[in-house]
Amino acid sequence: MSFKLFFVAAICFSFFYSPIQIRDFYKKQPVNDTLIYPGEHHFKNMRQLTFGGDNAEAYFSFDDKYIVYQRTEPKEGIMCDQIWMAKVPENATDPFNPKLVSTGTGRTTCAFFYPDGKHILYASTHLGSKDCPPVPDKEKMKRYIWPIYESFDIFKADTNGKIIKQLTHTPGYDAEATISPKGDKIVFTSMRNGDLDLYTMNLDGSNVKQITNTLGYDGGAWFSPDGKKILWRASRPKTKEEIEDYKDLLSKGLVAPTSMEVYIANADGSEQKQITFLDKANWAPNFLPDGKRIIFCSNSEYERGFPFNMYVLGNDGKKMEKISRDKGFDAFPMFSHNGKKIIFSSNRNNGGGHDTNLFIADWVE
């Protein structure tokens, strides 16, 4: 799922606000720019890496030396998400110089490094069209929805931007892929069976296996540091009306989840367990380096459904701790493999505007 979609959806997970109301929300907020807010005691030596546009889903290479992320910035002619790569600055004076590593056509999302550090994977619509796919008219729909572009497929590319192999070929949405720290499996979301479920495959796209089969959207999956568990977000329509609405929208290539919760399971999909019961929107989950805790994004604390902050929770669903405190949007966290740093996307320090940027900090226990 592209960040632009996630950002709009994140604001609207309460499903009660129009774009005008959202703009009014921002206008009413006092500008209180900062890198680290009071109470964010897990962050130290924070640095803002990007300035302007929508920047998100920044993920470390296996050696922690590089990141890949997606970026939209119409002012620079980047009309929908493209994938960029950059070296992680080693100190406060090192430059941050990203380069484009996707085709520059279509819409791309969810990039991730291969273990060798020389290749990445990402999803793209460029085979369907070189143009950015149309965005649904949310005013007409009277609610916020996510388009599930059927032209999304997953590709392997080198770090110079050359596509090496197309990994998925089935009709319908294939995206949201990440690679196990063990370096043996990819987990991704696909609609090949008519619903949005999780699948695994080998790094070359072979040996595809479906690992979830419950009606609803399953996506954004991550492996635990030891590769034995997976963590993901899921919507679970229950009532007749919810199920009919979900199926109707899905037939049109759309999703409007009224709520999301975080689930955990073995890497093969067995022993699935819901670990958040917060209602509203709980998503963008990831593991902490110890493998015993998770970090996720939620709006459950706020009656209006906004802001979104990040929280740490035990794998058993206990001992939740709020770790970010921006009054807008904090999400898409990832820890470096050595456990020393965290990177995430935030509205902080943007002059009261709408830009979402990347921030990296030392992680303090």
DSSP calls for 202-215: -TTS-S-EE---SS
User: Per-residue pLDDT for 19 more than 70?
Assistant: no
| One-letter identity of residue 35 | L
- Cross-strand partners of 70: 56, 83
Summary mean pLDDT of the chain = 90
pTM: 0.91
> Which of the four pLDDT bands, split at 50, 70 and 90, describes residue 258?
low
- Which band of pLDDT confidence, cut at 50, 70 and 90, is reported for residue 251? very high
What is the structure's pLDDT at 230? 98
Tens-place pLDDT, residues 160-218 = 999 999 999 999 999 999 999 999 999 999 999 999 999 999 999 999 999 999 999 99
- What pLDDT score was predicted for residue 32? 60
Is 27 a residue whose pLDDT tops 70?
no
Question: What pLDDT does residue 263 have?
Answer: 98
Predicted confidence (pLDDT) at residue 25 exceeds the cutoff of 60: no
Is 334 strand, coil or helix?
Answer: strand
Give pLDDT, residue 316. 93
Above 70 in pLDDT, residue 6? no
Tally: H helices and E strands in the chain: 4, 26
> Looking at residue 257, what is its pLDDT?
60
At the second CATH level, the architecture of 3-363 is 6 Propeller (2.120)
Torsion sign (Cα): 155, 157, 162, 164: negative
Q: pLDDT tens digit string along 261-313?
A: 999 999 999 999 999 999 888 999 999 999 999 999 999 998 877 899 999 99
pLDDT exceeds cutoff 80 at 38: yes
Task: Give the separation between CA 287 and CA 293, rounded to whole angstroms.
Answer: 6
Six-digit token pair at 93?
A: 């004076």
DSSP-derived secondary structure letter, 161 = S
Distance separating alpha carbons of residues 55 and 84, to the nearest angstrom? 10
| Residue 240, token pair as written in the block | 């007749």
Q: Give the mean pLDDT of 120-132.
A: 98
pLDDT for the residue numbered 208: 98
What share of the chain in percent tops pLDDT 70?
Answer: 91
Instruction: Kindly list the domain boundaries of the chain, sorted by start residue.
Output: 3-363
Residue 101 CB burial class (10 angstroms; 0-12, 13-18, ≥19): buried
